[in-house]
A = this chain, B = another copy of it.
Amino acid sequence: MQTIQNSPLYHITHPNHVVVIGASNNMLTMGTPLLNNMLSLGFKGTVYPVHPKLREVLGLKAYSNIKDISVVPDLALIVVPTRIVSQVLQACGEKGIRHAIIVSGGFRESGENGMHRERELVEIAKHYGIRFIGPNCLGVVNPFHQFNSTISHYNASMEGFIGMVSQSGSFITQIFVHLEKFGLGFSQGLSIGNQADIDMADCVEYLGACERTKVIGLYVEGLTRPKKFIRIAKEVSKNKPIVAMYVGGTEAGSRASLSHTGALSGSDAIYKGVFRQCGIVRAYSIEELFDFCWALGTQPLMQGNRVVVFTHSGGPGAAAADAADRAGLKLPPLSAETKEKLRNLVPHTGSINNPIDLTFTRNIENLMVHIPRALLEDEDLNGILMYFLTLTETYKRLLDKVESPPFNTIEEYEEYMYGLYLRFVKLVKSHNKPLLGSSFLMRNERLIGELEDLGIPILPSPERSARAMGALYRYSKMRKALVELFSH
């Protein structure tokens, strides 16, 4: 790949004229919701539905034959019954179309006959020079091009930095609601299905070159071309973190993968070795995969494994400390210099060990500005885990019942906090040190949403923030080794 525009994936994710074969006005036809989701994200290009009988599909002019379209579409979305997929692909080829997404299933994943049908597809594609994703996939979502070919509606505000490649369509589609919980989104989401033509390695190469993509997430059931994958992943992860969840390493997971995408999985140990070789961080669940992507896609590298836990609640602090230790991190005692700085900032009932535990404090400026500054400045510390709580709920219930409250209204409190958050975030970003937050509150608490939108990841529990920091450390270490290796 010389430039990103050379990649067939660039064309598949940035089309201008899309022919959709298989949508109708019947919602139980799979192509119908796909076309509808393409329209609902606000696609700016032209869509040409093809249908043998209908003259209009979801309000768009329909064509009875691909030949009848006045331009040569730059992408075909094929969602037709298994038995006519090859015939449709051939018609696309004859029209001069060179890129396709084949959603239809019933190929390699369904046994011997399916395998034969899949080979036929590949031959047709080769003959016409068509590059395609699938079959048995859900296509792609590219929020930056307002393009979504999948079965789930994508929220236009979810322009994100995670480039995801998945052998399961669900983790590109049903996962939208999971990302929304955290204000995250895809830079590009690629459901690759059976990988008959374009494979995971191609996607990693493409996302490696995609500027919007800050981190690459992979859901792996089994690698089809491992050598190629290793070569490309090694190169990409020198510059951009890759996080992978692999489910084929257990007996049950391997069987599930085989009947799902016909993937040939390998032992857990082999994949562990492959991932390590490539500098890929492994996650053990989809939640963890996105937690790790959040951390690795937003935070600077860690220079070492020494972290500080900063909290105003002892339990979450201890839980973070325990989880950090299990994730390969160290919580060193603080230096005399930092302790000196903290002495007047932490109440006497608190603790300036590591964790730093404020317990109850009235001074929110110490919490949000002065203590973080002392920790960011301490060169002995490589990362900060910070636990967040807001007083919105308490204030809501008390403001009009007490004498001389610190704020007259909730809005006043929220504005004050937002002002502190701006100072806090500026401070954090002026230092080259990772900071991960956690809270049991979610984005529906306005202040948490604002912190996240300012670029501070707030993981939904202290343990998850600690594990994500552990992942960041593992990646930082592997990347350093890879870069050194390549520099000789």
- Cβ contacts A313-345/B at 8 Å (1 or 0 each): 111111101111110011100000000000000
- Cβ contacts A104-118/B at 8 Å (1 or 0 each): 011000100000000
Contact A178 B440 (CB under 8 A): yes
Tell which of A37, A170, A323 has the most Cβ of chain B within 10 Å: A170
Beta-carbon nearest neighbor of A255 in chain B: B353
**With A27-B402, A36-B397 in contact, do A247 and B286 touch (Cβ < 8 Å)?**
no
Flag the segment in A356-364, A365-373, A480-488 that touches B. Answer: A356-364
- Cβ contacts A249-284/B at 8 Å (1 or 0 each): 111110111011100000000000000000000001
A442: min CB distance to chain B, Å: 7
Oligomeric state, in copies: 2
- Tell me, in angstroms, the Cα distance from A269 to B253 when the chains sit together: 30
Interface flag for A221 (CB, 8 Å): yes
Contact A463 B284 (CB under 8 A): yes
Residues of B within 8 A of A28 (CB): 362, 406
Contact B32 A256 (CB under 8 A): no
Q: Which of A369-413 contact B (CB under 8 A)?
A: 389, 393-395, 397-399, 401-406
Contact A441 B177 (CB under 8 A): yes
**With A25-B402, A27-B402, A321-B247 in contact, do A353 and B259 touch (Cβ < 8 Å)?**
yes
Flag the segment in A121-129, A161-169, A233-241 that touches B. Answer: A161-169
- Cβ contacts A295-316/B at 8 Å (1 or 0 each): 0000000000000010001111
Contact A322 B360 (CB under 8 A): no
Interface flag for A64 (CB, 8 Å): no
Contact A168 B318 (CB under 8 A): yes
Contact B285 A323 (CB under 8 A): yes
Contact A325 B110 (CB under 8 A): no
Beta-carbon nearest neighbor of A261 in chain B: B314
Residues of B within 8 A of A285 (CB): 319, 323, 461, 463-464
